[in-house]
Amino acid sequence: MATRGTEGRPVEGMGRERQVRTIFSEIAPRYDLLNRVLSLSVDRRWRRRAIDALGWEAAPAGTYLDACAGTYDLARELCDRRSFRGSVVASDFALPMLQEGRGKVQGRAVRPVCGDTLRLPFPDAVFSGATVAFGVRNLAHLERGLAELQRVLAPGGRLVILEFTEPPNPLFRALYHFYFRSILPRVGRLVSGHPWAYTYLPESVKEFPDPDGLAELLRGVGFDEVRWRFLTWGIAALHLGVKPGARGGG
Ligand SMILES: C[S@@+](CC[C@H](N)C(=O)[O-])C[C@H]1O[C@@H](n2cnc3c(N)ncnc32)[C@H](O)[C@@H]1O
């Protein structure tokens, strides 16, 4: 394939956006299976925590955005909350991911939109809340993406971000590095058949700001009440920010 190097690495000079879209388009058929296997299903608990933090109960009939939605796990988690009566716009720039997961949200109020989080194809202040799970780490311009998410949120709307982090405990971090850098790329390559997608994952986590850094960026693009907490010994973190202004109903 023209976009891959001969040693199973991305071709040099391939822009980050294109690289990321290529990876997820190519691994889409195996993405859910790999998620469950590689996270030992802990990701399900993290997604529940993310929806718990969204504050959707204040606007149960609102329209919510799940950006970098992939195969709709978060969109489904929100739609399946008992008194939720609203809808979810699930946007992602890798069409195969949206196509692959479609069956999981059949009959639910989920509208897929193929679009870039760096240029969200929505007007200002239209969403009651927004979520991004394991997506912001992939953005070629993190601040621009966060600013876009802030722009499309209605005043008082919350943004919830789930992202991988480096565990703070040195011993656990050493174990985690071994898993993340040695085991995960091998299992990922074996199951997905993709030569470099699961090498990219640990590299992207290493390059990503730490939780305080991400919180600072959220404040910088105009979010209020920014806070975060570790999940599962610091393998992941959950960030929350609120767009300034009074929240409407829904
Ligand atoms: C690790 S997956 C996460 C998918 C899903 N949120 C989940 O929790 O399983 C990252 C997703 O972000 C999408 N993505 C990355 N950068 C993007 C961008 N700039 N615009 C839209 N989608 C993007 C990828 O296509 C991919 O589907």
pLDDT tens-place string over residues 51-87: 999 999 999 999 999 999 999 999 999 999 999 999 9
Ligand 1 centroid to residue 92 C-alpha, Å: 6
Mean pLDDT of 143-161: 98
Confidence band of 152 (pLDDT split at 50, 70, 90): very high
Q: What is the largest CA-CA distance in the chain?
A: 55
Domain boundaries, the chain: 16-242
Ligand 1 centroid to residue 50 C-alpha, Å: 16
- Residue among 139, 133, 89 at smallest CA distance from 118: 139
Q: In testing the pocket of ligand 1, which one of 17, 19, 20 has its CB within 8 Å of the most ligand atoms?
A: 20
**Ligand 1 nearest atom to the CA of residue 145, by list position:** 19
Sequence-ordered list of residues with C-beta below 8 angstroms from that of 192, at least 6 positions apart, any chain? 26, 27, 30, 34, 198
Ligand 1 centroid to residue 153 C-alpha, Å: 19
Mean pLDDT of 19-33: 91
pTM of the model: 0.92
Ligand 1, atom 25, residue with closest C-alpha: 94
Q: Residue 33 and residue 47: Cα distance in Å, rounded?
A: 16
Structure tokens at 185: 């790329």
Fold of 16-242: Rossmann fold (3.40.50)
Quote the mean pLDDT of the chain: 90
Residues 90-126 as b or e (16 or more Cβ within 10 Å = b)? bbbbbebbbebbeeebeeebbebbeebbeebebeeeb
- Residue among 240, 238, 236 at smallest CA distance from 39: 236
Residues with CB under 6 A from ligand 1: 20-21, 24, 68-70, 73-74, 92-94, 97, 116-118, 133-135, 138-139
Share of the chain above pLDDT 90, in %: 71
Q: What is the pLDDT of residue 250?
A: 54
Structure tokens at 11: 């071709």
Q: Residue 101 and residue 22: Cα distance in Å, rounded?
A: 17
